[in-house]
Structure 1
Amino acid sequence: MDRDYARPLDVPALAAVALMSAGHFSRSFRAAYGETPYAYLMTRRVERAKALLRRGDLSVTEVCLAVGCTSLGSFSSRFTELVGESPSAYRARRHDAGAAVPACVAKVGTRPRRTAAADRPAVPARPVSIEEADSAGPS
């Protein structure tokens, strides 16, 4: 997902590559990364969108399509949720303060994070068995 964020990716296809059922893949992914596969993918897309918007040579719509989103509304909503401002507002403000920072360091410092603590999924404090995960209900 990190490399192919711009391609159309879905849980059944990812699960097939991992040789798992879609449900088991989703539960395992969430246990390992603390978020659903879709949330993780959208975070990577927003992360790349931030870099493209900082360049300033593409419109928000072009950036939306370049990172693999097909709906400008959904892209803008998720971007605003993770970054705390709309893609247009993010693009319009100055970004030259971090210009001297190497890209690998800037990537970590500008990584999108959810703005509300309530949106973060609970990460189990101990390993959870498949039976416990199944009895907890759908994710």
Structure 2
Amino acid sequence: MSRAVEQTNRLMLRTRDAMDRSYAHPLDIPALARIAHMSEAHFIRTFRATFGETPHRYLQRRRVERAMHLLRETDRSITDICLAVGFTSLGTFSRTFRSIVGQSPSDYREAADGPALPTCFTMSWARPSSFGEAPRDQGKLA
């Protein structure tokens, strides 16, 4: 692997780590592109080539993943969870959650109240996947 590719991969990992740390805060492409030391368009293309999805979809999936945990493990309201994971609209949260998980947040919570399964199985099964999803958006993340 060339030195330039290694450097690009490092920058992409640094940017993804920043997204993982700050998923609940408003994030936008210009700020993330600055972390990666790239133009906005080049950042989006490189992120997608590196991780298989756009930065926006990655951030949505990360937020939904955290929401899934909160729905399983807490009694917080769905609206409170929506805001806690970084969504600003309950409608957008519900629509995004359904598109990624396949069911509404309330249906997911209801199903999660079923019989207890080993944590390793639950985590493996419940992790959202981006495979087969067509990215619809680029640009602003929050």
**TM-score grouping bracket, smaller chain normalisation:** 0.7 to 0.9
Aligned-residue offset at 1:97: 2.7
Shift of 1:96: 4.1
Q: Which string of whole-angstrom CA distances, capped at 9 and with x for unpartnered residues, describes residues 68-106 of structure 1?
A: 1101101100100011100011112225433x425xx64
* Number of the residue aligned with 2:77: 59
Answering whether residue 31 of structure 2 is matched by residue 16 of structure 1, we say: no
Where does residue 123 of structure 2 map in the other structure?
A: 107
- Which residues of 2 match residues 74-93 of structure 1 at below 5 A? 74-93=92-111
Distance 1:95 1:41 in 2: 28
How many correspondences in the alignment? 118
Other-structure match for 1:128: none
Cα distance between partner residues in 2 of 1:6 and 1:73: 17
Give the match for residue 68 of structure 1: 86
Gaps of 5+ in 1: 122-137
Structure 2 residues not aligned, in runs of 5+: 1-18
Compute the TM-score of the two structures, normalised by the length of structure 2: 0.74
Which residue identity does 2:116 align to in structure 1? A
| % same residue | 53
Kept after mapping to 1: 8 A contact 2:53/2:130: no
AA in 2 matched with 1:39: R
Q: What RMSD in Å do the two structures reach over aligned CA positions?
A: 2.2
Q: Whose helix fraction is larger, Structure 1's or Structure 2's?
A: 2
1:49 and 1:96 map into 2 onto residues whose CA distance is 20
* Matched position secondary structure for 2:33: helix
The match for 1:7 is 25
Candidates 104, 116, 123, aligned match of 1:97 = 116
Sort the Cα spacing of 1:27 and 1:60 in 2 relative to 1 into closer, same or farther, 3 A: same
